[in-house]
Amino acid sequence: TTLSTLEIDQIVEAPFPQWCKENVHRSHVFNDERQLWLQQIAEGPLTIVQPFNGYKVHGIRFHTRARSARKKTYSCGVLVKGTTSGAAGGVDYYGVLDEVLRVEYPGEPIKRCVLFRCDWFDPSQPRGTRYSNINCTFEVN
């Protein structure tokens, strides 16, 4: 079904988690185990959140800024490659990892989501980033 502009505004203004919970339980999007998983996620995460001072993703280890400050190597830098269909190309976003949190959702199998909170730099030129052809590095202000 198509939502009207008024219905969309009401959804945005209403508490989304409660709206999601009610609508997921009322509808049957899937006719298999995915429906149960969707309902469990709609219940919201468990109240226990597990913090980490580092996390490994696809074989790459990330550390928080606080942990990197005590180490010889600085491994808290993050990069999100920007993509766009325009002629200007994508804008890359550089930042520093400040916090890693893992939340879990109820039910079996256990469903986890890892959240990275980052401090992002302004990518606009010339203020934010500059590429050096001499040593092939980026300078981030």
Do residues 69 and 35 share a domain? no
Q: Which secondary-structure segment (H or E) carries 16?
A: helix 16-26
Higher-pLDDT residue of 26 and 63 is 63
Indicate the number of domains in the chain.
2
**What does the block give as tokens for 3?**
């939502």
| Domain extent for 36 | 1-44
Do residues 59 and 29 share a domain? no
Question: What would the pLDDT profile of 10-58 be if each residue is shown by its tens digit?
Answer: 777 767 778 788 888 787 777 777 888 888 888 888 888 999 999 998 9
Report the alpha-carbon distance of residue 113 to residue 103 in Å, rounded: 5
Report the alpha-carbon distance of residue 24 to residue 38 in Å, rounded: 7
Do residues 72 and 103 share a domain? yes
Q: What is the pTM of this model?
A: 0.65
Do residues 56 and 124 share a domain? yes
User: What pLDDT is recorded for position 117?
Assistant: 93
Do residues 11 and 31 share a domain? yes
For 85: left if phi > 0, alpha if psi spans -120 to 50, otherwise beta; the answer is alpha
Residue 97: CB atoms within 10 A of its CB come to 23
Question: What would the pLDDT profile of 87-113 be if each residue is shown by its tens digit?
Answer: 555 777 888 999 999 999 888 888 899
